[in-house]
Chain A
Amino acid sequence: MSEQRPAGAAAADRLPVLKTHKVYVGGRFPRSESGRFDRALGPDGTPIANICRCSRKDVRDAVTAARAAQAGWAGRTAYNRGQILYRIAEMLEGRSAQFETLLAAGGTAPDEAAIEVQAAVDRLVHYAGWTDKFQQVFSSVNPVATSHFNFSILEPMGVIGVLAPESPLLGLTSAVAPAIAGGNTTVVLVTGSQPLPATTFGEVLNSSDVPGGVVNVLTGRSDEMLAPLAAHRDVDGLLLCSPDPDVARSAEIEAVHNLKRVAVRPHEDWTDVQSPYEITDLQEVKTTWHPIGS
């Protein structure tokens, strides 16, 4: 097993130090409270690492962390959120080689792996730039027919549950970046066949001034984690990145309990899934009235 681990080429006389892939919750790297594990497999089915098989208790803990971080993150200035997203891009760029290796170990062809890492970095830069602009494009001052100052602004929905797409790095960043750019915090369920880029992306986030709890990354199985996340009363929205209509449907039914907003992204190719509407789909419109008078 160790020979296949994506730890880089080791000198013949040196035993490589292998990484324990843990989850990322509240700015820390715990293991699953359940103590269970799954194996991440290479393209030929060979195990390449152990990953945490998170439980519904882990989901609840992650929601608690996301909620705790939400008001603070939403309260950051748009400028500051933009700088932090840009910082994530910088950290990812610096770790390009590591991510290329991880993607290749999961079966992505080396040249495609390089392209995917670059695209993920560029995506983060793109949304870093939107943080202080989408409000200008999509909010409004409303010309009401009475003597009132009336405006509608966008506010983050709050805590967003994200079912991460199969696309292990570009899909992941394409889903998470617009959610947090708009001031939401997230609980990200990584259930695809290549979880290692996601667990390592937690390390990128942790070194990018992203406050703990803004992005929480859990690994495990969709059939164990998605229902408790979708039903959780303290989650405000769901971003379901799955082409499987049954997955979306069952999560949507769980989401009815507290009328979570649900956005479904069935894409398998995430190359073009980039627009400010990815941000606004996870925002609420708030209209405020105030009289104009003396």
Chain B
Amino acid sequence: MTDSTPSAGTAAPKLRLGGDDGWGYAPAPESTDHVELRDRYGLFIDGEFVDAKGGRTFETANPATEEKIADVALASDADVDRAVAAARRAYEDVWSQLAPRERGKYVYRIARVLQERGRELAITESLDGGKPIRESRDVDIPLAAAHFFYYAGWADKLDYAFPGRGARSLGVAGQVIPWNFPLLMAAWKIAPAIAAGNTVVLKPAETTPLTALKLAEIIREAGVPPGVVNIVTGAGETGAAVVQHPDVDKVAFTGSTEVGKLIRRALAGSGKHYTLELGGKAANLVFEDAAVDQAVEGIVNGIFFNQGHVCCAGSRLLVQESVADEVISKLKDRMETLIVGDPLDKNTDIGAINSRAQLDRIEEYLEIGEAEGAEPFQTSCPVPERGYWCRPTLFLQASQSHRVVQEEIFGPVLAVQTFRTVDEGIAMANNTPYGLSGGVWSDKGAKAFRVTSRIRAGVLWANTYNKFDPTAPFGGYKESGIGREGGLAGLHAYLQPERAA
């Protein structure tokens, strides 16, 4: 006994769960046998699944196995024309004529079927996109259903949206969404749009089309009139056709700042409505009076949630110098417990990188970070042989001019910097063209709220991180976007105020 008791000055041996030391977890894979996936998916236009004109398709694959899942129709300009025409007809003839109460009931139905088919959707999301089943099951799908449920209730209350003003819908919305939260982003786009009385043409990302197409099945199952929601699959060209279509009244885009600027330029002078949710490089500030263990959990959640494929990820850790050693040491220990692997395994913390292209991009940044002089740290966990994987990674001693500090990596890579004073921390946090989100860790309420009020970003998490809710507006300052999604502000994005009669 005496021999194994740690003496003063000797660190206790670290207990690691999940390694090869007998403490490992047995695999706990989610069963997939109740999930029906077709070999081939069409476009969802005017209430029907149809082939693309010319019959072009593309493959969607499982990034954890690199195996093809299905062929998906590749929409051309002509297909987008068809979809916009269907949306316009549905808007003019049906949806805008419907009693708001009835419109809301359709949206409620969608929310309910999403809940009923939740597990199937979670598994499909993890198969097609690589995210851990724990996250798709507990975050993506329930939140998607909650968005439909929240906005459904607004449908017959639009008179209360703008104090002193009436409200009217905009018409046809063209919407393009990314691959990091495929179904949830579809819900963020479609739910407020149709509840407010618009019709939509939505383009999912080319690597993750399946849950949007299952949503199309659900929308049909819910009896939503044909043409109210149209889903066209494809890559960038299809997306460009959607946002540039002359008969689209409102554009909603979530994706990179680079593409967002191209869209904004194309819309200049058009008078069309638009919302852009773009990139981020959020600072997560840990002050010396933070609860360190909670902060470490928040740092891990901030950057490793969804493999770091999160526009609001806390990808810059700014830690006050006096606690930096302790925080970084505990962070490394905590990172060593993270399990990278099979997205369908309920033990998995970090799933597959979404695509080969994204993995290449992340690996390029790993090289850049090292070449620029930051000090890399990567955990030692095993990763599967096939599929796209990246171990959780830190860049210590990073400086403000490093590209891994300035640019969005969109992977499980955290740049670590230190600061001395509160003002310096705030200045470093704001020293970026982005302004989507930020985190503050301090047990002093006055300081926490002073810092959140001085960070130029749209979403601030104090002593928490990466929380989302349909009632809470989300969106960026500066080059992280224009407009908000969620809450009443997210409803405004699909309405026009007009003078009360």
Q: Which residues of A contact B (CB under 8 A)?
A: 137-138, 140, 142-146, 148, 150, 152, 155, 158, 236, 245-246, 248-250, 252-253, 256, 258-259, 261, 264, 275-277, 284-291
Contact = CB atoms under 8 A, between A and B. Distances in A.
Interface stretch (B198-206, B260-268, B334-342, B401-409): B260-268
Interface string B271-307: 1000010100000000000000000000000000000
A142 B467 contact: no
Given A259-B260, A259-B481, A289 B473 contact: no
Most buried by A among B164, B269, B463: B269
15 contacts: A137-B163, A140-B487, A142-B469, A142-B487, A146-B467, A148-B467, A150-B469, A152-B487, A252-B269, A256-B265, A275-B164, A276-B164, A285-B473, A285-B484, A287-B459
Nearest to A251: B268
Contacts of B478: 236, 258-259
B429 to A, nearest CB: 14
B104 interface: no
Interface string B334-361: 0000000000000000000000000000
B472 A142 contact: yes
A77 to B, nearest CB: 14
Interface residues of B, number: 46
Given A143-B471, A236-B478, A284-B458, 16 more contacts: A145-B146, A145-B469, A145-B471, A148-B464, A155-B453, A256-B264, A259-B276, A277-B497, A286-B457, A287-B472, A287-B473, A288-B449, A288-B461, A289-B467, A289-B472, A290-B464
A256 B165 contact: no
A256 B461 CA distance: 28
Contacts of A250: 269
Contact of B482 (A138, A155, A259): A259
Given A142-B487, A259-B261, A289-B462, A152 B269 contact: no
A285 B475 contact: yes
Interface in B422-454: 433, 448-449, 452-453
Interface of B: 146, 162-165, 257, 260-261, 264-265, 268-269, 271, 276, 278, 433, 448-449, 452-453, 456-464, 467, 469, 471-475, 477-479, 481-482, 484, 487-489, 497
B472 A245 contact: no
Given A142-B469, A253-B268, A284 B464 contact: no
Contacts of A258: 433, 478-479
Closest 4 pairs between A and B when the two form their complex, measured CB to CB: A249-B269, A252-B268, A144-B469, A142-B471
Most buried by B among A145, A275, A289: A289
Nearest to B457: A286
A251 to B, nearest CB: 8
A291 B462 CA distance: 8
Contacts of A286: 457-460, 477
Most buried by A among B165, B467, B497: B467
Contacts of A146: 467, 469
Nearest to B458: A286
B440 to A, nearest CB: 9
A276 to B, nearest CB: 8
Nearest to B487: A142
A285 B473 CA distance: 8
B281 to A, nearest CB: 15
Given A152-B487, A258-B433, A289-B460, A248 B471 contact: no
Given A142-B472, A285-B484, A249 B463 contact: no
Contacts of A288: 449, 452, 459-462
Contact of A256 (B268, B278, B463): B268
Contacts of B488: 140
A52 B467 CA distance: 53
A161 to B, nearest CB: 15
Contacts of A152: 472-473, 487, 489
Nearest to B474: A287
Contacts of A290: 448, 462-464
Nearest to A247: B269
B261 A256 contact: yes
A285 to B, nearest CB: 5
Nearest to B433: A258
Contacts of A289: 459-462, 464, 467, 472
Given A259-B479, A285-B458, A277 B165 contact: yes
Contacts of B162: 277
Contacts of A276: 163-164
A138 B473 CA distance: 13
A284 B477 contact: yes
Nearest to B445: A290
Contacts of B461: 288-289
B230 to A, nearest CB: 28
A290 B463 CA distance: 6
B30 to A, nearest CB: 24
Nearest to B455: A286
A21 B269 CA distance: 34
Contacts of B475: 285
Nearest to B489: A285
Nearest to A137: B163
A173 B207 CA distance: 51
